[in-house]
Amino acid sequence: MKNITSCSNGKSDKCIEAKIDLAIAETDKNTSEIKKQSALISSTCI
């Protein structure tokens, strides 16, 4: 999957990855990861 998305805009890819990682962190109730991914989303998603 990474190879497919590497052709497109890197910032939007980071946004999508952060949203996926946030969903996983929320499922795992991993508060430190939730904070980390939320910060990434704030900085990479428009």
Length of the chain: 46
State the Rg of the chain over Cα. 11
Q: Where are the domains of the chain?
A: 10-44
- Write down the pLDDT at residue 9: 65
Q: Residue 4: is its pLDDT beyond 90?
A: no
User: Using CB atoms within 10 A of its CB, is residue 5 exposed (0-12), middle (13-18) or buried (19+)?
Assistant: middle
- Mean pLDDT rounded to a whole number for the chain: 86
